[in-house]
Chains A and B, each alone.
Chain A
Amino acid sequence: MSTTPRLRNMRRPRLEGSGRVRRDPRAERLYCGEPAGETLSARGLPRRDPRAWYAAGPQANGRVRIDRSQRPGSASVAASAPLRAAEPALKTVVIAEPAFWVLAVPDLDDGRLSAHDRDVFGGARLLAADGGAVVAVCFGPAEGLDLAGADRVLQFDAAVFAGYAPEARAAAVAAVIATLDPRHVLLPDTPIGGGDLGRRLAAQLGETAAVRVQKLSAGEAIARGNGGRSDYHMAPPRLLLLAPEAADPLGGVRHEALALPVPELDTPTRLLDRGLLAIDPNSVPLAEADFICSAGNGVHDWSAFHAVAAALGATEGGSRMVCDAGLLPRHRQVGASGTLVDPRCYLAFGIAGAPQHLQGITRCERVIAVNTDLHAEMVKRADLAIVQDAQRVMPALTRLIEEKRHGA
């Protein structure tokens, strides 16, 4: 790096006895690694009380609807209205004079805290338990840092940090580390987010990070390596790159999230972000697709199928029947002799669910099936199954999405 970046206006935490930390009884519990809503069951194992995580909403369509908008980890906790209403009920933890610092550097992909980011803050809180304060180091604005557990916020807004700027960001975090000398720095271990940034920092600082941390507690980090075959148990080192769910996110409490002044930095940039390359969901290779809308022999109205896939922003896939028939190109075939896919969601219209097809979606977590046959294997495999003619459901779904989009 060309210059040594300096942080101004930032006080080192006081480690002497005089700087006493004000404690909050609720926060105490948290410091013990016991998130709100968790109690000890009879067998002494922590057991999560579901009632603390969601509230039963009003009855809709004669079914109990569960309002999960407050569920930690759902994408829009901070922004959603019901939570705002609940805010006054939350206690604020104040750590005025921290004994030490712990940095958490969230990815803020799309400018939002992801569930993974929130886990990182949860981990940071664990490591800050005995009097430390968590500093969120953010590139760009973020909401909900208080609920995630940040005591302080350092927000870098300069243009050099925008987009893919790992070198500038690494320099910034390194500068913060040089100034605050934090006990720990935590990042989500994502390939081109925290995982990239964290490894850059490790290389720059000449330290070894704990990577792909599977489980984090105040005294131990369990890192994963050796091609996923080994766990490495260690005392948490300074740099920690956390796998999803390595620590529980915070719940039922808020922290101050006080803004700290941001230093000016001279940052290197040898990499130029040329922006997202144009993406048509249908140019996405099936193996990488995030959301697949798939058609089988039960689909006859192909324009309705293409329309619904487009409205959903989903990648098109198909059973071998339709690919054989030339209705979809062959590289769109899902299954044993096509592509093995692992999207977050697989929506199947008119697919029977032959074993060779199901083999293609074994790693898929959420499956929705629309099929006229109640006994179809795909219906059995599905998390949400709808026994109805695909030709009728597809346009209805397209219409609904369009309405919501224009209504919103």
Chain B
Amino acid sequence: MALDIAVLVSVGRHPASARNRRAVLDARALELALNVPGANIHLIHAGDADEPALREYLGMGVERLSVLGVPAHADVLPVLVAHLKALRPALVLCGAAAEQGAGSGELPYRLAAALGMPIVPAVAGFELHGGRAQLAQALPRGRRRGVEAALPVLLSVDRAAPEPRQSAYARAQRGQIERIAVPAAPLWQPPGEEQPARKRPKRLKLISGSGAERMRAAQGAAASAGKGQLLVQPEPAAAAQAIYDYLLSEGILRG
């Protein structure tokens, strides 16, 4: 019996152009699903079926995308829960957070709670054996943790997952979009007063006392040319000591 995998996708947005596109993490979730041999992939989106960016997921080699027709800014949780309850997939895959709307990363958790499934975040890869999923969870610094869970399980995917395959134009055009009518969904409310994000300065790192240097540190690495400490022709041992001290003081090495 083929394994049913539901992949939930949203409409992403390019940070530089603010143009719609496939969402980076959702595409990775789909990539993981596409790598499961013999899986029966249900690609699901709740939103506007006419959004062209959705076709980019079809271009990755899926024949059909089911769109639960809710208006923009609707709370998609109820319709997704209802749809998935009927579908009863063994695996639900999604990106860690949407690129538009609140994108708070809470949806996967609410979904899992509503479906009674366990959820594992930051999944970088998985294998399925005998009704159980062996997951590799991405930890900071490239580390991986093994996590095991019984199916069904909901997995959220972050940047450590494999890069999504290229979306091919012809497949994107030929893929089908299935429109599913759903009951009216309540509107999503922003969690507070929305304002354009303000860049916040990094906390001053106390590299040294001089005001100018702290200023530069605050401006971040991009502007950091020429700010450094320089040792010309030191003895190798002194050079090694300087590197060691630096690594220690920056917390890269632990003494």
Contact = CB atoms under 8 A, between A and B. Distances in A.
A25 interface: no
B243 A226 contact: no
B69 to A, nearest CB: 23
Contacts of A270: 118, 149-150
A336 interface: no
Interface in B133-147: 134, 136-147
Contact of B106 (A54, A199, A221, A368): A199
Interface string A111-140: 000000000000000000000000000000
Interface in B173-222: 190-198, 200, 202-204, 206, 208-209, 214, 220-222
B229 A383 contact: yes
Interface residues of B, number: 91
A284 B142 contact: yes
Contact of B118 (A209, A233, A271, A367): A271
Contact of B100 (A192, A226, A234, A289): A226
Contacts of A290: 140-142
Contacts of A344: 250-252
B143 A392 contact: no
Interface stretch (B26-34, B59-67, B83-91, B231-239): B231-239
Interface residues of A, number: 95
Best-buried of B104, B158, B226 by chain A (most CB within 10 Å): B104
Contacts of A284: 141-143
Contacts, number: 264
Interface stretch (A87-95, A177-185, A400-408): A400-408
Contacts of B198: 214, 231
Interface string A220-249: 010111111111111001000000010010
Nearest to B103: A225
Interface in A377-407: 379-388, 392-393, 395-397, 399-401, 404
Contact of B148 (A230, A271, A374): A271
Nearest to A56: B209
Contacts of A71: 206
A66 interface: yes
Contact of A226 (B103, B121, B227, B254): B103
Given A312-B253, A396-B236, A408-B255, A223 B191 contact: yes
Contacts of A66: 206, 208-209
A210 interface: yes
B82 interface: no
A208 B189 CA distance: 11
Nearest to B192: A234
Interface stretch (A9-17, A275-283, A316-324): A275-283
A191 interface: yes
Interface stretch (B39-47, B50-58, B109-117): B109-117
A224 B197 contact: yes
A381 B142 CA distance: 25
Nearest to B249: A68
Best-buried of B105, B120, B194, B250 by chain A (most CB within 10 Å): B105
A223 B106 CA distance: 13
B5 to A, nearest CB: 19
Contacts of B221: 362-367
Contacts of B195: 230-233
Contact of B101 (A199, A224, A226, A388): A226
A31 interface: no
A353 to B, nearest CB: 10
B38 interface: no
Contacts of B232: 374, 387
A196 interface: yes
Contacts of B231: 384-388
B37 interface: no
A211 interface: yes
A209 B146 contact: no
A211 B104 contact: yes
A74 B206 CA distance: 11
Best-buried of B119, B144, B192, B195 by chain A (most CB within 10 Å): B192
B60 to A, nearest CB: 21
Contact of A384 (B118, B206, B246): B246
B130 interface: no
Contacts of B158: 191
Nearest to A48: B204
A289 B236 contact: no
A42 to B, nearest CB: 15
Contact of A345 (B13, B103, B234, B247): B247
11 contacts: A50-B209, A164-B145, A195-B121, A214-B198, A223-B192, A231-B198, A271-B148, A281-B142, A367-B221, A386-B231, A387-B231
Q: In the A-B complex, list the 10 residue pairs whose CB atoms are closest, starting with the nearest.
A: A274-B146, A234-B192, A284-B142, A290-B141, A232-B192, A227-B99, A396-B236, A396-B240, A288-B142, A203-B109
Given A223-B104, A388-B236, 20 more contacts: A50-B214, A164-B137, A191-B158, A214-B200, A226-B194, A227-B12, A227-B15, A230-B190, A230-B194, A230-B196, A231-B198, A270-B118, A273-B146, A274-B146, A276-B139, A277-B136, A370-B243, A386-B231, A401-B244, A401-B253
